[in-house]
Amino acid sequence: MRALVVDDHEFTREGVGHILTDNFEITKLALAGTYEDAMEQIKNNKWDIIVLDINLQGKGGLEILSSIRSIESKVPVLVLSMVPVSQYARRVLQAGASGYLTKSEPGEELIKAVRTVTRGMKYFSPEVQQELPDLIDETIEKPKHHDLSDREFEVLRGLAEGKSSKEIAGEYKVSINTINSYRKRVLAKLHAKSNIELVKYAYKHKIIQ
């Protein structure tokens, strides 16, 4: 198995590398700590699995996954993150990830996840199944924020965390008017009237903690 581990924390990526080499027949292992290193490895090599930290410095998780998928459409990507399941799991799975688990879960779950996704199946950790049951059972009604676009969701998170439209605009290098337009759409889709109601919604649905 050829495995690429992408994480900006040296301790984590080396730890994941050791788990992989101890439990699988690894013929090639590469560790990348930055977005640029990861892209170079993906462009120049073929991989059987990519274990990806969704929060690399300077890049949003969905943007990273999109970049990978633009180069490698079929390689299994297992997302390993500190971000709570309720914030990103659904979106990274919809964006093409093969599985999602948090770094708080035991090593046994990582091993199980790697086995699952390298067999061509989706991996849903116990935490994902508990927090997002409608990913498994489509008959369960989905909360309103699942209809938000990725950028609308990021704006919702930013506003709920107390950031101003100016601060969010700076993060995404767009105008304040653009962010305000997203805010209006978020308010309409969530049937909210103010930022205070957005904060309450975000806490209720564990978008922020």
Question: Using one digit for the tens of pLDDT, what is the confidence trace for 37-47?
Answer: 888 999 999 99
**102 shares a domain with 9:** yes
The model's pLDDT over 134-176, given as tens digits with 9 standing for 90+, comes to 665 555 566 788 788 878 888 998 898 889 999 998 888 889 9
Give me the mean pLDDT over the 175-194 stretch. 91
- How far apart CA 102 and CA 109 sit, in angstroms, is 10
3-state secondary structure labels for all residues of 76-90 = CEEEEECCCHHHHHH
**111 shares a domain with 171:** no
Weakest mean pLDDT among 12-26, 116-130, 153-167: 116-130
**185 shares a domain with 125:** no
Q: Residue 137 has what pLDDT?
A: 57
**101 within domain boundaries:** yes
**76 shares a domain with 48:** yes
**172 shares a domain with 69:** no
The whole-chain average pLDDT of the chain stands at: 85
- How far apart CA 197 and CA 188 sit, in angstroms, is 12
**10 shares a domain with 99:** yes
- In the listed set 113, 135, 157, which residue is the last one of a domain according to the structure? 135
- In the listed set 135, 160, 187, which residue is the last one of a domain according to the structure? 135
Domain encompassing residue 191: 144-204
**209 within domain boundaries:** no
**153 shares a domain with 52:** no
Of the candidates 32, 36, 22, the one whose C-alpha atom is nearest the C-alpha of residue 52 is 32
**162 within domain boundaries:** yes
**183 shares a domain with 112:** no
What is the CB neighbour count within 10 angstroms for residue 130?
Answer: 10
Assign 6 to helix, strand or coil.
strand
**180 shares a domain with 124:** no
**57 shares a domain with 158:** no
Of the candidates 125, 53, 108, the one whose C-alpha atom is nearest the C-alpha of residue 83 is 53
Question: How many domains are there within the chain?
Answer: 2
**124 shares a domain with 160:** no
**104 within domain boundaries:** yes
CATH code for position 161:
1.10.10.10
- In the listed set 117, 135, 153, which residue is the last one of a domain according to the structure? 135
**176 shares a domain with 123:** no
